Structure 1
C-alpha cells in the first residue's frame, strides 16, 4: 500500500514539473512573440511612391550628388515628357544626370563638370545610333588625338542606382538604391596605379579599361543596412 501511494505521489510530482516547464516555455514563446510584434510595430513605415513628376525626378536624382553639394548642382536629363532638357543651372563643380523615366529601375549620376565633354560626346554618339563598342572606339581615337577633352585626372562619377523607381518624398531616397563611384584616370594601368584589373573580393576597388581613354577605378561600397 505504501509503495502504491509512493508511486502515485511521484507521478503527480513529475506531472507538476512537466506542466510547469510547459507553462514556462509557453510564457517564454509568448514573450518573444510579443517582443517581435512590438519591434515590428515600432518600425516606421516608409511611404514609397512612384516618381511621376519632374520635381520628384530632380529630387531623387540629386541623391547621386554629395549631400553638401546638392543645392548647387546643375541638373540635366530627360524630363517626364521624354525631352532632354536642362532642369536647372548650377554654380558648383557637379553636374547631375537625372534618371531616365522612360527606362525601368532608377539610375542617376553626378559627375565633375570637367567630364562634360566626354559625357556629352557619348550622348551625341548614342543619339546618332552608334553602338557601345563604336562609341568606345570613336572616343578612344578622339582622346588620343587630343580632340576630346577627358577632364581632370581623378575626376569622379557618382552613381545612385536600383531596380525600383519608387522613392520616399520625405527623404528623396529611392527604394533599395545603392551607390557606386568611378574615378577616371585616362590611359592608367594596373602598373601605374597599383590596382588589380579585377576585384580581388566583393566591393574591392579595381581598374577597368586599363590603358585606354576610359580607364577608371571602380569603387562599389557595401549596401547600407537599413535594419
Structure 2
C-alpha cells in the first residue's frame, strides 16, 4: 500500500513538473514572439513611402557616394510628372531620381561628363524611338564625335522592388547597387574580361566593340550591400 501511495505521489510530482516546464516554455516563447513583433513594428515605423519631391531627392542621392550627396545635382520626374532639376549641385556627379510613375525603385548616379550621352538617350525616347533605334543613332553620333563618352566614366544604379525608405539609415528597403564602367569600343580581348559573368559580383564586359561597351559589376544575390 505504501509503495502504491509513493508511486502515485511521485507520478503526480512528475506531471506537475512537466506541466510547469511546458508553461514556462510557452511563456518564454510568447515573450520572444512579442519582442520580435516589437522589433518588426519598430522597423516598419522607421520606413517612409516615397510620396514627395523631397523624398525623391533623398532617395536619389542614396545612389551617389555619401561624401558627395550634399553637392550632387538631382534631375528627374517630380511627383507631378514633369522632368525637372530637383536639386542644384556642383560636384562631379549627376543623379537621376526614381520615376514615381513606375513600379519599384530605380535611381542612377553618373559622372557629369556622361550627361550629353544620357540626355541624348532621354530626348530620343521622348521622340518615341525604340531601344534599337536609340542604340544605332548614338553609335553613329559617338563615332562621329558629336557625343563623347569618357573612357572609365562610372554609373551607379540603385534599384529594388520597394518604394519605401529609412530617412535615418539612408537606404531604400530591399535596394541594391549595380555598377557600370564605360569603356567605349573595348572588347573582351582588349581589356581581358569575359562577355558573360563568371559569378555574381564578378566584372564582365557588355556590348563589346560598340560605343556602349561597359564593364558590369552586379551585386550578390539575396544580400544587401
TM-score (norm 2): 0.85
Moved beyond 6 Å, runs of 4+:
none
Which residue in the other structure is 1:160 paired with?
A: 158
Structure 1 CA distance for aligned equivalents of residues 103 and 163 of structure 2: 7
* 1:119 Cα deviation after fit: 0.7
1:36 aligns with 2:33: yes
Structure 2's unaligned 5+ residue stretches are none
Aligned ranges for residues 67-146 of structure 1 at < 5 Å?
A: 67-146=66-145
* 1:146 Cα deviation after fit: 2.7
Structure 1 CA distance for aligned equivalents of residues 4 and 195 of structure 2: 78
1:174 aligns with 2:172: yes
Distance change (3 Å), C-alpha of 1:212 and 1:20: same
Q: What whole-Å deviation, never above 9, does each CA across 1:30-61 have from its counterpart, x for those lacking one?
A: 22331332243245333434323222211221
Structure 2 CA distance for aligned equivalents of residues 160 and 42 of structure 1: 26
- Total equivalences in the alignment: 221
1:192 aligns with 2:164: no
Higher mean alpha-carbon deviation, 116-125 vs 200-209, is at 200-209
CA RMSD of aligned residues (A): 2.4
Q: 1:26 aligns with which of 23, 41, 50?
A: 23
Structure 2 CA distance for aligned equivalents of residues 73 and 87 of structure 1: 11
Q: Is contact 2:174–2:224 with CA below 8 Å preserved after alignment? A: no
